[in-house]
Structure 1
Amino acid sequence: MRLQSFGAACTVTGSMHLLTLDGGRRILIDCGLFQGSGALEARNHEPYPFDPADLDAVILTHAHLDHVGRLPLLVNRGYRGPVYCTPPTAALAETVLLDSARLQLEGYRQHLRHARRQAREDEVLPPLYDEEDVHRALDLLRPVLEFGQAATVAGLRVTPYRAGHILGSAYLLLEDAGGRLIMSGDLGHRAGGLQLDFTPPPQADAVVLETTYANQRHRAWPETLAEFRDVLCGAVRAGGKILVPSFAIERSQTLLHTLKALMDSSEVPRIPVFLDSPMAARATRAYFQFGDELVPEVRDALRSGEDPFAPSTLHEVLTGDESQRLNRYDGPAIILAGNGMMTGGRIQHHLRHHLWKPGTRVVIVSYQSPLSLGGQLVAGAQTVEVMGEEVAVRAQIQTIGGFSAHADHDDLLAFLETAGCPHVWLVHGEVPVMQAFLPELAARGLKGDIVPDRQDVDLLGSGFSGGRPPGLGLEPGPEGLKVAADE
């Protein structure tokens, strides 16, 4: 099996991995959107280095935008084959992709208005796709993948297993005459949250492993809850707004469930909670539809007719006008709004109105790309640009890492424990993070390499075409760690 990665190689976004099998069969694993800095997002507009019409199949590991967001573009450029996924992923993908098309059109119109004032409209990139492209992509979905059950995709034996990241997320065991490969997709953290833990993997010859938090250990769930409670109570005493940038899928539902529990137990005052994310509201329906996939506490609540995602003070904000009116709301309130990295969405106008106020708290519970608006706030920026306006940062910025839906350092090593002694190929991580993780693999007798961007790699055989790029691998040896000879 040969791999070329056209996203999530040496970065954490834009997952798109092209597998080429014996006989020239080609399967695309994920088709995600680049998110974060302008330079990253510009890659979404690049032509594909392959012909989409030549693909035999697409498999989606889960429905986050950075894993499915370029699927309509793939269809627009000629793909007509099947797109395999789990049933929950299909349900969530519809919400995610339709929202993406809408936001792209809104952003295009806004940028075009500004550019026309400077006679620079030719510089504005059009939307990647429209709703018609989305519906054509949705028509190709084949939600037939079930955890633990093998299926045949373009002659390849594919078995999905529970990844524990978000609803419906899977990692894949891929088997043919050449060997056994695991594609991890995104793996979940094993403590707290709504998802059941990932299934320990079977043995494999190679593992393509995500490494988003390979250099970190998440805070324990009880400590995370205590920190979140203390932050909320302190913010209520300050009398300001509590802004929680949140991704619409999984993070919003986890936060709503947590807020309900804290308020029901009187650990947090019952102040208004505004869910300013129509997409999150729509996505929550899938959690009702597939409630048996969730942890017992939530599953049992759903079976009894309770809404585990609805604090008693919850208000869903559906229209743009309602969202704007929130800025005139007097008194403390919790506002959950997208997007999670603050690069767009309704959270931006809340930041513009409240970031300069000392009483405001911005509670960051998601990964922040270093160059994103959220990344700038985490880094301690004194001023930031929001919606074209320079805004002073007088709000308190507080980061709570334990809400992460991504596996941490210990989770990743635990995942590899049952996989035998595979060659581990690292993706979906920043290069310094992956480089720091390589010695951990070598110390456990595992050969590790970082998958380079766009380069052809023989996953089960000779490895790199033309030799390993400098700095992308370490091997175990009888005298301990050694840099691979071709470096």
Structure 2
Amino acid sequence: MKLSFLGAAREVTGSCFLVEAANVRFLVDCGMVQGGRIAAARNHEPFAFDPASIDFVLLTHAHIDHSGLLPKLTRAGFKGSIYATPATVDLLGVMLPDSAHIQEIDTKRVAKRLKEKTVPLPLYTLQDAHECLQQVRGIEYDREFAPRVGVRARFRDAGHILGSAIVEVWITEYGYPTRIVFSGDLGQPGRPILRDPTPIEEADILVIESTYGDRRHKDFSATEADMIGIVEKTLFERGGNVIVPAFAVGRTQEVLYHLHRLTCEGRLQRPMVFVDSPMATEATRITREHLELFDEQAKRLAGWHARGENLPYLDFTASAEESMALNRIRSGAIIISASGMCDAERIRHHLRHNLPRRECSILFPGFPVSRRRGRLAGA
């Protein structure tokens, strides 16, 4: 058996592991490298293997740093199946075409800037993404399946984002099975909405990813208190807006959950909340369709929502015109928008229109920070 680490080694994006054993070759994840000036160039490099020789892919979850090169893999000759949980399949149906659209737009922008007569090829196209989606197969949590003779696999709940999975793989060589466990990205126990990660009791080989390394997470009750303080002071004392940069999948839904819960519990006055991200809107819709994956507290909150109790005002914007119209709101609004890193998409024009105003704040989910007196300061 041979295990190759082709991404997310000494970095936290581009997850991709190649397993070769028992006359089979397969990948666990095929993610895009994100961040840094050379990320685009690295994503355009040829794969370190022949894509046509890969029998199948096991996908831990839909985040682009784990799934974003799947259309490139298909384009390069991969013909096998891509196995993922049903919720991940639903998210891929939104995220991969969106990623392809970004690749096409960025390629045209670069060509225009460089005044090239021939438009360079994008990393992959919308057609590539749609063809890739035809290869995706949904497998429920905890169900064993055999993608190839001599290989068994099972997805266990990772509690990271909707549909995220720990992957257990049993490979039989020379009559002896070897159990490999791939953690994917693990959620924190006790976090809202999703169930806690499923405990894995044994493995012969454990491949575990560690985004935060040895950092200690801030106590959740302190984070919650900071969030309440920033929202109350900014919206109802200073008369400004709160701008929330948030990833479209996972973090946006978590922020909405907390705002809804705190309002229902009477700990937060009813705010006006706007979600300004088409991707986040679709991800939120998909999240609501998978109530079976929620923890018990989130299911109770969904019941409150169905009864219409103590809801904050909530609106999802769609068009660019609706997004720009939010800039006319001078006070009382929480605007949640992508991207979470503030490096692209609609969040940048909300920051540009609000942060110069001393009464407004920016809140990073999990790391509340407010803008005061021309600088960023702890809330």
Q: If the length of structure 2 is used for normalisation, what is the TM-score?
A: 0.90
CA displacement 1:224-256 (0-9 Å, x = unmatched): 211211121222223332111111111111110
After superposition, the Cα gap between the structure-2 partners of 1:39 and 1:312, relative to the gap in structure 1 and judged at 3 Å, is same
Contact 1:358/1:396 (8 A) holds in 2: no
CA displacement 1:354-405 (0-9 Å, x = unmatched): 33333332211269xxxxxxxxxx9xxx9xxxxxxxxxx9353558xxxxxx
After superposition, the Cα gap between the structure-2 partners of 1:85 and 1:198, relative to the gap in structure 1 and judged at 3 Å, is same
CA displacement 1:150-175 (0-9 Å, x = unmatched): 11122311122111111111111111
Contact 2:19/2:27 (8 A) holds in 1: yes
Which of 130, 138, 143 is equivalent to 1:135? 130
Q: Number of residue pairs matched?
A: 373
* Distance of 1:150 and 1:56 partners within structure 2: 18
* Distance of 1:395 and 1:136 partners within structure 2: 47
CA displacement 1:160-210 (0-9 Å, x = unmatched): 211111111111111123521110011110022211111110211121111
Name 2:157's counterpart in structure 1. 162
CA displacement 1:426-450 (0-9 Å, x = unmatched): xxxxxxxxxxxxxxxxxxxxxxxxx
Name 2:145's counterpart in structure 1. 151
Q: What is the identity percentage for the equivalent residue pairs of Structure 1 and Structure 2? A: 36
In the TM superposition, residue 345 of structure 1 has moved relative to its aligned partner by: 1.3
* Distance of 1:308 and 1:7 partners within structure 2: 45
Name 2:374's counterpart in structure 1. 394
Contact 1:191/1:220 (8 A) holds in 2: no
* Distance of 1:43 and 1:92 partners within structure 2: 25
In the TM superposition, residue 339 of structure 1 has moved relative to its aligned partner by: 1.1
Residue type at the aligned position of 1:127:
P
Contact 1:86/1:168 (8 A) holds in 2: yes
Contact 1:16/1:28 (8 A) holds in 2: yes
Residue type at the aligned position of 1:259:
L
Residue type at the aligned position of 1:232:
V
* Distance of 1:259 and 1:331 partners within structure 2: 17
* Distance of 1:4 and 1:310 partners within structure 2: 52
Unaligned ranges ≥5, structure 2: none
Name 2:34's counterpart in structure 1. 35
* Distance of 1:130 and 1:309 partners within structure 2: 44
Name 1:441's counterpart in structure 2. none
* Distance of 1:366 and 1:300 partners within structure 2: 23
* Distance of 2:170 and 2:198 partners within structure 1: 18
* Distance of 1:123 and 1:358 partners within structure 2: 47
In the TM superposition, residue 124 of structure 1 has moved relative to its aligned partner by: 8.1
In the TM superposition, residue 33 of structure 1 has moved relative to its aligned partner by: 1.3
Residue type at the aligned position of 1:336:
I
* Distance of 1:2 and 1:336 partners within structure 2: 44
Name 2:87's counterpart in structure 1. 88
Contact 1:166/1:195 (8 A) holds in 2: yes
Q: If the length of structure 1 is used for normalisation, what is the TM-score?
A: 0.71
**Any residues of structure 2 matched to 1:460-475 within 5 Å, and which?**
none
After superposition, the Cα gap between the structure-2 partners of 1:110 and 1:97, relative to the gap in structure 1 and judged at 3 Å, is same
* Distance of 2:360 and 2:18 partners within structure 1: 45
Contact 1:256/1:311 (8 A) holds in 2: no
* Distance of 2:377 and 2:300 partners within structure 1: 36
After superposition, the Cα gap between the structure-2 partners of 1:102 and 1:250, relative to the gap in structure 1 and judged at 3 Å, is same
The answer to whether 1:201 aligns with 2:200 is yes
In the TM superposition, residue 305 of structure 1 has moved relative to its aligned partner by: 6.7
CA displacement 1:448-468 (0-9 Å, x = unmatched): xxxxxxxxxxxxxxxxxxxxx
Residue type at the aligned position of 1:139:
Q
Unaligned ranges ≥5, structure 1: 368-377, 383-392, 400-487
**Any residues of structure 2 matched to 1:307-318 within 5 Å, and which?**
311-318=311-318
In the TM superposition, residue 9 of structure 1 has moved relative to its aligned partner by: 1.1
Contact 1:298/1:308 (8 A) holds in 2: no
* Distance of 1:45 and 1:398 partners within structure 2: 39
The answer to whether 1:44 aligns with 2:39 is no
After superposition, the Cα gap between the structure-2 partners of 1:311 and 1:30, relative to the gap in structure 1 and judged at 3 Å, is farther
The answer to whether 1:211 aligns with 2:191 is no
After superposition, the Cα gap between the structure-2 partners of 1:303 and 1:13, relative to the gap in structure 1 and judged at 3 Å, is same
* Distance of 1:30 and 1:266 partners within structure 2: 42
Residue type at the aligned position of 2:315:
H
Name 1:250's counterpart in structure 2. 250
After superposition, the Cα gap between the structure-2 partners of 1:124 and 1:359, relative to the gap in structure 1 and judged at 3 Å, is farther
Contact 1:32/1:71 (8 A) holds in 2: yes
Contact 1:240/1:361 (8 A) holds in 2: yes
* Distance of 1:271 and 1:84 partners within structure 2: 41
Name 1:13's counterpart in structure 2. 13
Contact 1:18/1:28 (8 A) holds in 2: yes
Instruction: Report SS of the residue matched to 2:306.
Output: coil
* Distance of 1:193 and 1:70 partners within structure 2: 30
* Distance of 1:122 and 1:307 partners within structure 2: 58
Residue type at the aligned position of 2:224:
L
* Distance of 2:20 and 2:64 partners within structure 1: 24
**Any residues of structure 2 matched to 1:300-449 within 5 Å, and which?**
300-302=300-302, 306=306, 311-365=311-365, 394=374, 396=376, 398=378
In the TM superposition, residue 322 of structure 1 has moved relative to its aligned partner by: 1.0
* Distance of 1:122 and 1:49 partners within structure 2: 31
The answer to whether 1:172 aligns with 2:167 is yes
Residue type at the aligned position of 1:197:
D
After superposition, the Cα gap between the structure-2 partners of 1:277 and 1:143, relative to the gap in structure 1 and judged at 3 Å, is same
* Distance of 2:215 and 2:182 partners within structure 1: 21
Residue type at the aligned position of 1:344:
A
* Distance of 1:111 and 1:308 partners within structure 2: 48
In the TM superposition, residue 331 of structure 1 has moved relative to its aligned partner by: 1.5
Contact 1:363/1:397 (8 A) holds in 2: no
* Distance of 2:268 and 2:375 partners within structure 1: 21
